Amino acid sequence: MLSDVVAVLACPHCAGSLTQEDAALRCAAGHSFDIARQGYVSLLSGSGTAASGDTAEMVAARGRFLDAGHFAPLTSAVGAAVARAREGRPGECVLDVGAGTGHYLAAALELCPDAVGLAVDASKAAARRAAHCHTRVGSVLADTWQALPIKDASVSVAMTVFAPRGADELRRVLRSDGTLLVLTPTVRHLQELVAPLELLHVDERKPERLERTMSPAFTRRSQTMLEFVMSLRHSDLDALVGMGPSAWHSSAAVRAERIAAQPEPMSVTGSVLLSEYQPSTPD
Ligand SMILES: C[S@@+](CC[C@H](N)C(=O)[O-])C[C@H]1O[C@@H](n2cnc3c(N)ncnc32)[C@H](O)[C@@H]1O
Ligand SMILES: [Zn+2]
């Protein structure tokens, strides 16, 4: 619930502490943010351009795919990494930036019975869904490319899973002894589907780009490659295409035609890098 994470939130206008009063969060300067009926709060600062969060259809497709368990090896690996990083830090906050449905955060909290979770996403549909992903999760609508509405050094573990990230803001909100987990696809991720379903390619220079964007704020502590094979039916392929960026580029009819031409079930590779970073410099 939002009340679990209010202590780490900051007003997006003046960076002051927020307190919950009835159905709103307020700061001492009088800025006020209504809590939506669905349980999340928007702390978008209103400055700059609107962030490009996923549509309701994409979030629903992601929910279907993840609930079916096809990415279970990733869910387990992220959960275990969060639990390891939190050892000996009872009651602290785990931040998931670009949290989507909140699937990975909820799984991590199951392994960390005394932690609370903060899900941040720029998509209203995602924020709505993440608000109910776990009883100890609070969900906030915010743009990761802007200043995060989170207090300095208030988070002990942060993660981004297939999501955009701003290293400087993550560094600011993370404790100096905290851990950042980043999960990114390799070029082999979903490789069997790239040509037939016209999925967007993963850039083979992505690992170098990741290192460049994470430094100098973070230093990599470890990196693990996770590879597995999924057996996917046509309905799974539909959810997989629908939940990703390629959903923007093809109509439903074209997508259905391409999927119908594939074998069923189809063997599809999952391939990601799970990287663990520590802040480079003290607060
Ligand atoms: C590929 S999805 C990954 C979601 C989730 N981490 C997962 O793996 O299931 C990327 C997520 O990042 C969110 N997102 C995109 N741009 C964002 C931004 N500027 N600020 C915050 N979230 C953003 C999208 O709305 C979407 O939920
Ligand atoms: Zn304020």
Q: Is 123 in the pocket of ligand 1 (CB under 6 A)?
A: yes
How much is the pTM? 0.96
Which residues make beta-bridge pairs with 268? 230
CA of 96 to the centre of ligand 2 (A): 23
Nearest ligand to the CA of 25 is: 2
Beta-strand ranges (E) seen in 134-260 are 137-141, 155-161, 174-185, 218-232
Whether 164 lines ligand 1, by a CB cut-off of 6 Å, is yes
Closest ligand (CA of 100): 1
CB of 65 closer than 6 A to ligand 1?
no
CB of 102 shorter than 6 A to ligand 1: no
Show the domains of the chain with their CATH numbers: 38-279 (3.40.50.150)
Decide whether any atom of ligand 1 lies within 6 Å of the 44 Cβ: no
The strand pair at 32-34 and 24-26 is best described as antiparallel
Cβ contact 105:74 at 8 Å: no
What is the rounded (10 degree) CA torsion for 136, 141, 147, 148? 0
Q: pLDDT 10s digit of each residue in the chain, 283 long?
A: 999 999 999 999 999 999 999 899 999 999 999 999 999 999 998 754 556 799 999 999 999 999 999 999 999 999 999 999 988 777 789 999 999 999 999 999 999 999 999 999 999 999 999 999 999 999 999 999 999 999 999 999 999 999 999 999 999 999 999 999 999 999 999 999 999 998 877 777 777 888 889 999 999 999 999 999 999 999 999 999 999 876 666 777 888 999 999 999 999 999 999 999 999 975 5
Alpha carbons within 13 A on the beta-carbon side of 90: 1
d(CA 8, CA 152): 9
